[in-house]
Structure 1
Amino acid sequence: MDSLRVIVDHLLTVAGFLLAITLVLRVLGERRQPGGTMAWLLAILLIPYIGVPLYLLLGGRKLAKRAQRKNPLYAADRSELHLVEETFFQGGRRLVQAGMPPPRSGNQVDLMFNGERAFNRLMEEIDNAKESIFIETFILGRDETGRAIVDALAVKARKGVQVRILLDGLGCLRSKGRFVQSVREAGGEVAEFLPVLPLRRKWSANLRNHRKIAVFDHSCAMVGGMNLAREFMGPTPWPNRFVDACAFVTGPLVTDIEQ
């Protein structure tokens, strides 16, 4: 029994050493700020029992791999880059290389910084939707703003409009359950992005869904920094409201936003 334990301990030590060396090489190969690189190296080498698990949980760069998987979505669009002004050609090529769509012309953008105006336009688009409403947000406020939006979405779902909502597991911690139950009961779909307490799903503490996007009938999209909460928008002025930007877009760009 003692000899077996010695062998197991030896194998674990060797495996840990090889894993630490692998992670060190990986850290050195990543594009990080010097301070961040040094911090990870010290953690992995000096306190491997803490540094290695922390790096595996928090330090991996997963977004680059996701961009590579998304890249084929826009491969056919690269031919359009020659239509972009020379000044923006390099930036457009970088976007495509990162898995993003190239710049497109023929779009109309209504930019606004007023929370009441943004809320009223959002409610108008929800009310006018005939086929589908897709929404993803970091925060859905458990307040009068969030309640008005949820109620409106439930009404549209009940009328046969396809309603799909994606809520961040952390930002919508208080509003992802019963608060949106009326949408589910009306036939809409509500999904959670990276639950805070996952039992059977992958999870990353430093990857949250900060997107604020709504697409209506595949023809109009709302994008920007406004969450669906009183602090960002609402039917009436609120003294503590943040000043943020929001844009309603129509044109070819809506297809890219929806994808």
Structure 2
Amino acid sequence: MTDNALELHGVDMHYGYVRALDGIDIAVRQGEVLGLLGDNGAGKSTLLKVMSGAHQPTNGEIRVHGAEKTFGSPADATHAGIQMVYQDLALVDAQDIATNLSLGREILRKGLLGWLGFVDHKAQRRRSTEEMEKLGVRTAAMTRPVEMLSGGQRQVVALARGATRVFNDERNGILLLDEPTAALGYEQTQQVQALVRRLADQGVACVLVTHNLPLAMAVCDRITVLNRGRKVADIPAAETENDHLVGWITGARPSMFASEEAA
């Protein structure tokens, strides 16, 4: 039995004559934070979309906890235990924290009112409070509208919503994070960084796309670099440094797999 939560083997993605991904092999283990780095156009977003079921690869294989999967839609990936936290957060600003955490899994009231679709807001607030405590997250009151939160608090709510959907009794799932700190200041970035690390410590596999190299070095266990649709580096974060990462990102440093490509 493999301890890899998510594996991609030989994944290609073609848009007509354009090859956005070229033979990508990636694996992320349970409880690991994998940093996915690369310049604009390197293929990071495309790869996230393949992982999340938004795009179907032209070729290649996807495995979740060792079982081969075919995703026809993001709903298929969600059913397999994969959650995507988008850069725009996809929160409902006018609704409170508890409602945002419960989107798609609302608790209905008992009896006729539940049959008519009335939501039990008190029960949702209790569940949301318990889930945030389990994650070790402290934010505003569950009744506070999201539009009244700071950027860091909003990002934490979005991360927590994804995290609560990948926890289960048998094994924890996979969380895909697209630039979670792009619009945040230093203190807010530290808050998000701590939450990502805490999720990994609780067994969640995280794939983190970021342009923030200090963040990647601080929070990631392993880093994969893409350049023009190809994987050019895959290395433990403790065994590399910023200058090497910049070299792989820009193409100034040779690919770690140059001999394989030549063959």
Flag whether TM exceeds 0.5 (same fold): no
Greater share of strand residues, 1 or 2?
A: 2
Q: Which has the higher contact order (CA 8 A, sep 6+)?
A: 2
Normalising by structure 2, we get a TM-score of: 0.29
Larger radius of gyration: 1
Greater share of helix residues, 1 or 2?
A: 1
